Chains A and B, each alone.
Chain A
Amino acid sequence: SQQGEEDPQALSIQEGENATMNCSYKTSINNLQWYRQNSGRGLVHLILIRSNEREKHSGRLRVTLDTSKKSSSLLITASRAADTASYFCATDPSGNTGKLIFGQGTTLQVKP
């Protein structure tokens, strides 16, 4: 069964606003990753957070992980039109197998 589920499925905001996407998963994990997919392109890795970490930052990205609730959130601050893309969370329940279980993604539209 699908491991990760993103919420919301679609999000539309104005440039400069913050965007928050949530991900829930079902089993214990080794790590949780976020990927971005621009239209017609492959996925690009954004950030990885391990099960023993609670928060991680990378530039304008902030990821949180709550293993007790089996959930994670991705915050993009000061969004730009170029952030328009689909964002996916992915987990590797087995730990370092590369068999990532992806959610169905959040489609983010940032209006200029």
Chain B
Amino acid sequence: DTAVSQTPKYLVTQMGNDKSIKCEQNLGHDTMYWYKQDSKKFLKIMFSYNNKELIINETVPNRFSPKSPDKAHLNLHINSLELGDSAVYFCASSTRTVGAEKLFFGSGTQLSVL
């Protein structure tokens, strides 16, 4: 009964390939996020969706395209992968209710671009 689950856990691929990471939450939250953690453990938000609507889009290359088919799912598709895309990508979810701002994170997808 994992709250926020993302797949795959590890992703090793060649430069130039296209790949997707999937995320699902069963907490009934209406907001989902993608965060990127680099090799120095610096964690930065990439996207946020609320009820399938994009609400946060940080300065991320167009090669990254999130898709939210419903409020329980948020996928991340990456085109033309580059070496610099190697990182751990975390999906997270939360409610927007005041007083419940904490985020619930998935266990991460470690992406290695060779």
Classify chain A's interface size.
20 to 34
Q: Which residues of A contact B1 (CB under 8 A)?
A: none
Q: Is A102 in contact with B42, judged by CB distance below 8 angstroms?
A: yes
- Min C-beta distance of B84 to chain A, whole Å: 18
| Alpha-carbon gap, A48 to B42, bound state (A) | 20
Q: Please tell me if B66 contacts chain A, counting CB pairs below 8 Å.
A: no
- Min C-beta distance of B38 to chain A, whole Å: 10
Q: List CB contacts (< 8 Å) of B22-56 with chain A.
A: 31, 33, 40-45, 48, 55-56
Q: Which residues of A contact B96 (CB under 8 A)?
A: 96, 98
- Total A-B contacts with CB atoms under 8 angstroms apart: 58
Total count of chain B residues near the partner, CB < 8 A: 25
Q: Is A96 in contact with B44, judged by CB distance below 8 angstroms?
A: no
Which of B41, B103, B107 meets A100, CB within 8 Å? B103
Which of A2, A37, A43 meets B103, CB within 8 Å? A43
Known contacts A37-B41, A98-B31, A98-B103, then 5 further A-B pairs from the complex at CB < 8 Å, ordered by chain A residue: A42-B4, A48-B101, A86-B41, A97-B55, A102-B43
B contacts, CB < 8 Å to A: 4, 31, 33, 40-45, 48, 55-56, 90, 92, 94, 96, 98, 101-108
A contacts, CB < 8 Å to B: 2, 31, 33, 35, 37, 40-45, 48, 86, 88, 92, 96-100, 102, 104-105
